[in-house]
Structure formats: structure tokens, C-alpha cells
A = this chain, B = another copy of it.
Amino acid sequence: MPDYTIQSISTYDARFPLPPGAGTDSIHATSEYCLAVTMLTTQDGPRGTGFVLTLGEGNRLVCAAIELLAKPLAGLSIEDLMSDFGRFSRQIADHPALRWLGPHKGVVHLALASITNACFDLWAKCRGVPLWKLLLDLTPEQVVSLLDLSYLEEILSEREALCLLREELPRRAEHELILQKGYPGYDTSVGWMEYDDDKVRDLTARAIDQGFTAFKLKVGSADEDRDLRRAAMLRKLVGDSSTLMFDANQHWNLPAAVRMCRELATYRPLWIEEPTHPDDMLAHVALAREVGPVKIAAGEHIPNRILFKTFMQSHALHYVQVDCTRVAGVSEFLTISFLAKTFGLPVVPHVGDMGQLHQHLVLFNHIALGHEVAFLEHIPHLRNHFVQPAQVRGGVYETPQEPGASCDLKVNATPGKQLKTA
């Protein structure tokens, strides 16, 4: 197969102001989606793009961290790099001058995610296939070599990871039906915090027309009555048979979360998302135990496999909302999907990538790991900025067919500093 050498690395600080109210939640009243983009250039070959989401001015910190972290990539063959990516990922995550700033969280880890996602995009483009297909065509050994399993050894060894893949091989053909059917989506855009009732009504009607049967509403406002009123309204709008989820974006402390989860249970949500601070694992444990039948979803601010492991071991969450633009990119996303499989938990990504990259990863999770088909969050605000926006029709993500990871952006990005090969 063709191989290419990474010739230069550049970063872009891309900012996209959103329409009024879009993207607002209990913590974020502003509406600017920013992408810290990594571009990998090869000579006469394809260009790889990866990014992470941030919400404003701090985006440039991530771009600066990408410049520091990405230096070892220059001059590497993409096939060599990806043949042992787990080891590379660990090495870069433990950069002796940068590890102190985390470890494995915050700005530096976001930078690693952006870089990693660019590597996977470039790899798939070099092989001329969409990322989901590239991943499915790998042998179990090749898949496991993409992962950094350090600090998971007592739960998930290399051998155990291989077993998870091998056990699923006989069911692959059956699982592959999803490629024709498409992966179900759910709609997050009907219920942003600052939307008024009329707007929620209009958007919900439109989303139902488009074929969606699952919807998310922001809660956790300072006005608890408003939360409950909007929850009641949305349940009435979508009917008894549709699925509702509520998202508090960490607003509540534990006593408030217990009280509000119990109140909101009336409207039969599938889950309540980020009920409290993501570092308070024990508060999640208490909630998961005390507010049943309500289920707890969390992950968009859980930064790495080690913290996910502790959440899973402690029964602190029911839905694993890992985001490949929060953890260290595709590689750590896959690791956490292996962990979730071990613990029998569903993976329902938070889509900091607007679903572009995760649409590939949920196909791998279902087909290769046997994760049940759930649904993938759909946020269309940035779709005009992608070269190949995810196609969601009839409420379903159509299987992407273009080579790569669907992360290329149109040119309205602010160019950053370019790192040349030595």
C-alpha cells in the first residue's frame, strides 16, 4: 500500500460564532464554537486534519500546545507511525516538559487529541478508505497496537483486549447491517438553554418532521421551575413514545442534583447528563444509586481512560459519553470503548466534533466490539463549515464513504504557525 511521510505540521485557530442562543447551557452563556485544528501535510500525498472543540479565547492555548507536542511527528512515515501508535501516544502524553501540566488532562491533552485525530484522518486518506473501514480491516493485533493500556492492566490487558475483538468476529456479518441502515441520531438542538418556548416548539416540530425520535433539553438553570416547565413542555411535544434526555452541564451540587433528578424523573428521561461536577465521582455514585429509575450519563469532561475506569468500576455512570475531542483522540476513545465493553456499559459519545469523526467510531464499536446500537448526538451548527458534513437523513447518520475521518474544514480558519520538518 502507498506510504507517505509527514512533511510539516500546522495549527489553525478556527472560530465560529453561533446564532443567538445556540449552544447555551447552564454553564456557558456564550455562543462561540472554536476548533483547535492540526493539519499534517505530506509531499504529493493527502493532508490530514484533526481538531478538538473549545468554547472561546482559550482555543489559542490548545493551538500553542499542539505546536509543542507535534514536533516529533515531522519526518515520520504514516504507516510506521500507525503500526505502533499506542506506544507513540503514551510517549507524547508523557513528554517530560509537558506532562506536569496535566497529567493527561486539560490543554495539553486536548492538543494530543487534535494531533491524534489528524494522524488517523491522514492514515485513512493514505489508504483511500473511510476511517470506519480502515479500523474494521485491521487485525485484532493491529487494533490493539493503537491503544495505550497503561494504568489499566488490572482490568484490561492486551490479551483481554484481543479477546474482546476475537469473540465478536463470528457476529461481524450480522453487525455490518448497520452500514446499510445507518446509525440513529438524536437531536440536541431543540432545547438550548436560552431558547424561548416558541423556539423550542418550532425546532421540535421540525426535528420530528426530519425523523428524529430522541431529543435533549438543557436544564440546570438558576430557575428550577423553568427547568421543570420546559421538561413538561418537551415531553408533551414529543409524545409518550419518544425518548427524552436532560443535560445539567454540571450545574448542581449533590443535594440539588438529588432533588432535581427526582423532580425531573416525572418526565421519564432516558438519562440525566452531567448532573454535577465531573470530578465528583462519588456524587455520581450516590446519584446513580439514589435517583433510579433515572440513569446517569457523563463523559464530555472526563479527560482520560484512567478516570473513565474509576467511574466504571464504581458504578458512577450508566451511559459512557466519551468524546474523542476531549480524551486523547481516536486512540483513547477506542481504549475507553474497550473498557466500556468489559463493564457492559453503552458508549454514546458526546460530539465535540459535531459527529463528523464519531460517526466512524460508533460503527467500529458496534461491528468490531459488539456494542449495541444506541444513537449518536446530532448538532448541525457547524455543518456548512465542513467539506463533507455528516449526512443525517430520516434521523439517521448515513455511512460516510469518502476516504478519511470527515474532519476537513473549509478555508475560513485563521492560519497559525507552521512547523517545518527538520
Residue of B nearest to A253 (CB): B153
A contact face: mostly helix, strand, loop, or mixed: loop
Min CB distance A249 to B, Å, is 10
Residue of B nearest to A55 (CB): B100
The answer to whether B309 touches A280, judged by C-beta atoms less than 8 angstroms apart, is: yes
Is A106 part of the contact surface with B, judged by Cβ < 8 Å? Answer: yes
Report how many residues on chain A are interfacial, defined by Cβ distance under 8 Å: 59
The answer to whether B61 touches A96, judged by C-beta atoms less than 8 angstroms apart, is: no
Determine the distance from Cα of A94 to Cα of B55 in the docked complex, in whole angstroms. 12
Determine the distance from Cα of A335 to Cα of B134 in the docked complex, in whole angstroms. 50
**Of A57, A104, A277, most B-chain CB atoms within 10 Å:** A277
The answer to whether B151 touches A280, judged by C-beta atoms less than 8 angstroms apart, is: yes
Residues of B within 8 A of A150 (CB): 253
Is A58 part of the contact surface with B, judged by Cβ < 8 Å? Answer: yes
Min CB distance A4 to B, Å, is 28
Determine the distance from Cα of A151 to Cα of B57 in the docked complex, in whole angstroms. 26
Residue of B nearest to A109 (CB): B106
Per-residue 0/1 for A316-347: is the Cβ within 8 Å of any B Cβ (1 yes, 0 no)? Answer: 00000000000000000000000000000000
The answer to whether A97 touches B30, judged by C-beta atoms less than 8 angstroms apart, is: yes
Chain A contacts with B in 286-319, Cβ cutoff 8 A: 301, 303-304, 306-307, 309-310, 313-314
Binding site for B on A (CB under 8 A): 27-30, 32, 53-58, 60-62, 64-65, 68, 94, 96-110, 150-154, 250, 253-255, 276-283, 301, 303-304, 306-307, 309-310, 313-314
A-B contacts, 11 listed (Cβ < 8 Å) = A57-B97, A58-B98, A61-B107, A103-B250, A104-B277, A106-B109, A151-B280, A152-B253, A154-B255, A154-B283, A279-B310
